Structure formats: C-alpha cells, structure tokens
Homo-oligomer: A and B are copies of this chain.
Amino acid sequence: MKKCLVLLSGGVDSSTALALAARDFDEVIALSVFYGQKHERELKSAKDIAEFYGVELKTIDLNAVFADSDCSLLANSEAEIPQESYAEQIKKTGGLTPVSTYIPFRNGLFISSAAAVALSNGCEAVIYGAHADDSAGNAYPDCSPEFYEAMNAALITGSGGGVKLLAPFINMNKTEIVKLGLKLGVPYELTWSCYVGGDEPCGVCGTCIDREKAFKNARIRG
C-alpha cells in the first residue's frame, strides 16, 4: 500500500498537490505547520481542503523556531508585507537575495518535520508544492530545483531509504498548476493565498497578484 504525506498550507499549490496525491496514492495524510504568521486564515483553508479530500490533517506549531526572525510575514515582526508583485520585488533585490517575505529556511524545516512525521506514520514520501514562479529570481530559494534535489537526497540518506521527497510542480509555473488543478476538480474556492489575512484577500500582496494572474492565464490558455 502506497502512503504519502502532503505538506498542506491551504493555498493553491499545496491543495493541488493534495489532489494529485489523492489520485496517485492509496492513502494520504496532510500536515500543516503554524510558524508564527500574522494570520491563521490559511490554516482554516487547509482544514477545509483536507476534509474535502477525506484525509487526516495533522498540525504542528513550530513558531518558536522563528522567534528571532524579522520576516514581514511573522506576527513578531513590525515589517510591512510588500504591496507589489514578485516581479517588482525581484527588481529591487536584483536576484541577489531572497524577497522580504522569505522566512529563513522555512521549507527546509517544514520538509524535515514532514519527514519525521512521515516515517512515524508509514509514509514512503513527503510531497510539497514548490514551483518555478516561486524560485524565479531567487525570490524563494527554498523552492528551487537545486534545493529540492538536495533535500530529497537528505531525506533518503538521512532515513536509510525510509522516505523520499516529491515536488511534482518543481518545473511548472503557477498557471500550469491551476490548469492541472481545474482538470482535477480542486475546490479552489476553499483555498487561501493572501499574506495579509482578514475576511477577503487584500488583492495587492505578492501572492494575491500571483494567484489572480495564474487563474486568469489558466482560463484563457486552458
């Protein structure tokens, strides 16, 4: 029996990854991590998506790890979340550093936690929804193919072959993910992308802009 664990934030990418896993594996569990973000709206979406697919959702609080970080996504930071697209943010960083919403080694931490939970629950794979738009211009280096390959090697060697990492979207862009998700029937109305939180998405943060563009492109080009 093939069993896997999906890292589920409640956003577009991880929800589509869960849909794929539900199609391809015999059994799936999901893991959401609270990391001290300014709002918990996406965790509600993770719960709704997990329920939709009938998979067990585990949640872990790892916010203590980021106690000293001043990343703008974190509740303990007074820095403001940028109101501009990633393309505009990358113009400022010149691709030399991550964007200001990069949380230090967050995906490495999430994947490592997921590997521990996966090994404890008989899962042969951890799945995460990193994609090419996120790693473009070095915005989120922990979404890059190079990082994926290194972490996959770390999981395999560090567990004695017990668990591996899958990143089915690592060479896809967000538009392609949405196109795939629409075919799979992902209930995107349940997902949440906005960094700010609140009752309605802000519409002006990087992920809101990205999400809107991906849906527009997916429907036009789909």
Bound form: Cα–Cα A102–B70 in Å:
34
Residues A158 and B147 in contact in the complex (CB < 8 Å), given A109-B116, A116-B66: yes
A85: Cβ under 8 A from any B Cβ:
no
Of all chain B residues, which has the CB nearest A153?
B150
Count the copies. Answer: 2
The answer to the question of A18 belonging to the interface, with a C-beta cut-off of 8 Å to chain B, is no
B138 touching A69 by the CB < 8 A rule?
no
* Residue from B61, B102, B159 in contact with A104 in the complex, judged by beta carbons closer than 8 Å: B159
* A150:B146 contact, CB within 8 angstroms: no
Task: For A159, give its contact among B65, B115, B121, B141 (CB under 8 Å).
Answer: B141
Q: Of B116, B121, B142, which one neighbours A158 at CB under 8 angstroms?
A: B142
A143 to B, closest residue via Cβ: B158
Measured in the bound complex, the distance between the Cα atoms of B95 and A135 in whole Å is: 38
Interface size class on chain A is 35 or more
Say which residue of B70, B106, B107, B116 sits within 8 Å of A69 (CB atoms).
B116
Give Cα A6 to B104, complex, Å: 17
For A117, what are the chain B residues with a Cβ–Cβ distance below 8 Å?
A: 65, 68
A30 at the interface (CB under 8 A from B): no
Q: Which of A152-174 contact B (CB under 8 A)?
A: 153-155, 157-160, 162-163
| Residue A60, interface by CB 8 Å | yes
Q: Is A144 an interface residue (CB 8 A)?
A: yes
Asked if residues A105 and B98 are in contact (CB atoms below 8 Å), the reply is no
13 more A-B contacts (CB under 8 A) besides A67-B120, A105-B158? A62-B65, A102-B160, A104-B119, A104-B120, A105-B119, A105-B155, A105-B163, A108-B115, A108-B116, A147-B157, A149-B153, A150-B154, A154-B154
Give a binary string over A125-152; 1 marks a CB under 8 Å from any B CB, 0 the rest: 0000000000000100110101101110
Q: A141: which B residues are within 8 A, CB to CB?
A: 157-160
Chain B nearest Cβ from A7, distance in angstroms: 13
